Amino acid sequence: MVNAFFVFCGCVDQASVAVVEKWGRFIRLAEPGLHFFNPFAGECVAGTLTTRVQSLDVRVETKTKDNVFVQLICTIQYRVVKENADDAFYELQNPQQQIQAYVFDAVVQVMADYGYSIEHILMVDIIPDAAVRKAMNDINAAQRLQLASVYKGEAEKILLVKKAEAEAEAKYLSGVGIAKQRQAITDGLRENILNFSHSVSGTSAKEVMDLIMVTQYFDTIKELGDGSKNTTVFIPHGPGHVKDISEQIRNGMMQASSSNV
């Protein structure tokens, strides 16, 4: 009981370290647990430091290799080195402000001399200047527009090529159709001539051809007059001209037959 009046005890929390002084002079560090102090001998706890990892957000402005100023937002994770807690307690009055002054390359070695360990430096964000952001957005937009123009040109080129191919195919099919139509007309005329020659004795192929030409000539004149869009057509009209037309058609058919042979 007597010693109870002269000896006092204290408890240091987990993840903490206490700085013990004697008559105002540092003597030792007290780790977590129960400790006894003799205030009559001048012992007292000057203060405690946490050994947990702490974080400090720092905003730094720097210049890149292409001479562009940017702001860097980083988080510095630091902790007190337990063995050098006395340096951390006595050497720095405001460790956070000191860390901000020694960021990046110098911070690790410099703060170690003051009893602090820099665990990590995390880069949170990079904020370029507003004018730089606008210029980068303009460059990106210009590149996008240029790429869109290239795609549009390629699409138009493909459309033109496909259109030309379609027109060529249509003309080819039209030519094939006209050729088949003319072949069918020629075959029909040949068949009509042969049938008429066998049905009416004493008629020659030339006479039958002339009769067919006259009939088709008047049918053509009739279709021109019955058309929904009336168009004035000036053509030589008379029996002699019909004979000329028939001779031209006959000559064409003979040339076609000779070419096929």
Interval 116-128: pLDDT, tens: 888 888 888 888 8
Residue 13 per-residue DSSP state = P
Give the residues across from 79 on adjacent strands: 117
Least confident of 28-32, 66-70, 170-174: 66-70
Q: In the prediction, which pLDDT does 17 show?
A: 92
Q: What is the pTM of this model?
A: 0.47
- With beta carbons less than 8 A apart as the criterion, state whether 224 and 233 touch: yes
Residues 149, 154, 156, 159: what is their CA dihedral angle, to the nearest 10 degrees?
A: -160
Taking the CB of residue 68, how many other CB atoms lie within 10 A of it? Answer: 14
Share of the chain above pLDDT 90, in %: 3
Q: How far apart are CA 226 and CA 219, in angstroms?
A: 10
CA 5 to chain centre: 80
Pairing, β 16-22 against β 8-12 = unpaired
Tokens for 223, please give them: 């279709």
**Strand residues in 40-137 grouped as ranges (E):** 43-50, 54-63, 69-80, 116-128
